[in-house]
A and B are shown apart, each in its own frame.
Chain A
Amino acid sequence: MENKSFGARLLGTWNTRTIVAVAIGAAVFGVLMNYGGIPIFTNTSLTTAMIVPVVVGAMYGPVPAAVAAGVGNVIADLIGGWGMYPAWSIANAVAGLFIGALPLYGAYITEGKFLTKHMVIYVLCVLLGNALAFGVVAQVFTVFFEGGDMNVSLLQGLWASIGNILVEVVIGIPVIKLLANRYQSRTNLTEEE
């Protein structure tokens, strides 16, 4: 993983395994978006779907994570019954790109590498990604393509990003650590030429 170029790490390798993983990630995203909310008050819930780009990004790279989140949101819209909101799919894809950027700064989960340094960068990426995606991208697309009300959209964006950050940090870090531990046991194996 370390000797790969930046572009290759960004794109990930698009073999059959990655395609299937992205597809399953998108399906999990859709299901969690609809049924996996944590009830907090009546009628407000914290969606746990944003755990998907974390896992896909950790194992396959940022672009697969972005595709999983974007397609996942389209599928959630299709089965959810609230209509189609492409602006939010694009915003989720942008957030997925930032959240799944783990291999870009050296956190190679598939080689069991996740240090405290990476954890700090991960949290910063999560904050930046959510601010950019739900504070800027979703707002711009909502206003210019869908003609929604700006104040409501900003409130929704604020609420979504607070919930997402909570899920990505509180649930995401333990999950990444677990994945890293799972892969660590295989790191001393080398491929024979």
Chain B
Amino acid sequence: MNNRFVINYTPGPTPFHKLTGFTKVFLFLAMICAIMWTFDIRILIPLLLINCAEIVSMKPNYKPILIVFAITFVTVTLIGNVMLFAVSPEAGYNNVGAEHIIWQGSGSHYISKEFLWYIFVVFIKRTASFSSVMAFALSTTPSEFASGLNHCGLPYKVCTVVSLAYRTIPDIANDFVNIRNSMMMRGLELSGKKAGIWKRLKNYVLLLIPLIFTAFGKVGNIANAMDLRGYGKNKKRTWYAEREPGKLDRIIRTLTVLLFAAVIYYVIRYRIIDPWPAKFWCPWLARDEVQHVNTIDTIKILQWFRNR
């Protein structure tokens, strides 16, 4: 069970592990903002490479990462794109702004070059987001996470919520597996082959109730232990995982500030002052070929209402 989680609970040996909590949280926030706001392949690919370099530099156990990535690839990317093709093959036109059809199927189904480009960019974006999450989760212990968030200005009680939640996940997951196994031993049918939907729903209720009561039953103990150690008495607190920033910390913090500034510049320059007509850039289209599509007009339900 333990190696199914990518979360890191012990301080690691590599330089990237040894950064302070604030540096890691700050870098992670900047990465997520950059990936979310730019949505431009010319920026996503460098970010993806930086994150991959971070992951490789930590020399992690690759097995759980690859399992998680494979599951997401099958469920989200493959099935999601088949769904997208069935629901809206014009997504390429809506987001890239032009259409070169390369395969015409029956009815309204077709594949255009721009549709494939759209799928590719979304895949790169998802992978970049995944890699930055992995780099963060592999390097940061719960206490470092909390101290970093506190350093960012969040009230320390919220930081405790995050670190405590992060820390109790393996316990809860163990409880969940134990309860599920013991319920299955008693003959509770949870798989899809033998029981119908309603039967399965009912059986999951029987499984959830003990899980909730065991999980929330611990609240009293943990809260008392924290109270006895004087938690919440003062307005501020210090963190066990907090250290003085080292040389590498300063370098990475400076680079992160530059990244943030670059993202804000990009958003102002290319989204507000001089926006590209379509949602994102495509290498084989010149600017005047691209047509602007209003997002609201692409919603199928509204189109259906309008056509009636």
Q: How far is the CA of A87 from the CA of B71 in the complex (A)?
A: 22
Using A48-B208, A81-B69 as known contacts, list a sample of 4 further A-B pairs with CB atoms less than 8 Å apart, ordered by residue number in A.
A79-B7, A147-B279, A151-B91, A170-B201
Please determine whether A16 and B208 come into contact, CB atoms closer than 8 angstroms. Answer: no
Please determine whether B157 and A19 come into contact, CB atoms closer than 8 angstroms. Answer: yes
Is A121 interfacial (CB-CB < 8 Å)? no
Q: Considering only CB atoms, which chain B residue lies closest to A37 in the complex? A: B204
Is B2 interfacial (CB-CB < 8 Å)? no
Please determine whether A36 and B226 come into contact, CB atoms closer than 8 angstroms. Answer: no
B interface residues with partner A (beta carbon < 8 Å) = 5-7, 32, 36-37, 39, 65, 68-69, 71-72, 74-76, 79-80, 83-84, 87-88, 91, 94-95, 118, 122, 126-130, 132-134, 136-137, 157-158, 160-166, 168-169, 171-173, 176, 191-192, 197, 200-201, 204-205, 208-209, 211-212, 215-216, 218-220, 222-223, 226-227, 231-232, 279-280, 295, 298-301
B23 to chain A, nearest CB (A): 18
Please determine whether B137 and A28 come into contact, CB atoms closer than 8 angstroms. Answer: no
User: Given contacts A26-B161, A81-B133, are A31 and B232 in contact (CB under 8 A)?
Assistant: no
Cβ proximity bits A117-148 to B, threshold 8 Å, 1 near / 0 not = 00000000000000000000000000101111
Is A17 interfacial (CB-CB < 8 Å)? yes
Please determine whether A23 and B157 come into contact, CB atoms closer than 8 angstroms. Answer: no
User: Given contacts A21-B219, A147-B279, A154-B301, are A83 and B126 in contact (CB under 8 A)?
Assistant: yes
Q: How far is the CA of A30 from the CA of B216 in the complex (A)?
A: 15
Report the number of A-B residue pairs with Cβ-Cβ less than 8 Å.
190
Q: Supply 29 A–B pairs (Cβ within 8 Å), ascending by A.
A: A20-B222, A21-B223, A23-B164, A24-B164, A24-B165, A28-B211, A35-B173, A35-B176, A36-B176, A40-B197, A43-B74, A55-B216, A71-B165, A78-B133, A80-B68, A80-B72, A81-B65, A83-B126, A86-B36, A143-B295, A145-B37, A148-B122, A149-B95, A150-B298, A151-B91, A151-B300, A152-B88, A171-B204, A178-B209
Please determine whether B75 and A155 come into contact, CB atoms closer than 8 angstroms. Answer: no
Interface hits, A155-178 → B, CB 8 Å: 155, 166, 170-171, 174-175, 178
Please determine whether A21 and B216 come into contact, CB atoms closer than 8 angstroms. Answer: yes
User: Given contacts A71-B165, A81-B69, are A16 and B223 in contact (CB under 8 A)?
Assistant: yes
**What chain A residues lie within 8 Å of B130 (beta carbons)?**
81-83
B120 to chain A, nearest CB (A): 14
User: Given contacts A43-B75, A152-B80, are A23 and B161 in contact (CB under 8 A)?
Assistant: yes
Q: Considering only CB atoms, which chain B residue lies closest to A147 in the complex? A: B39
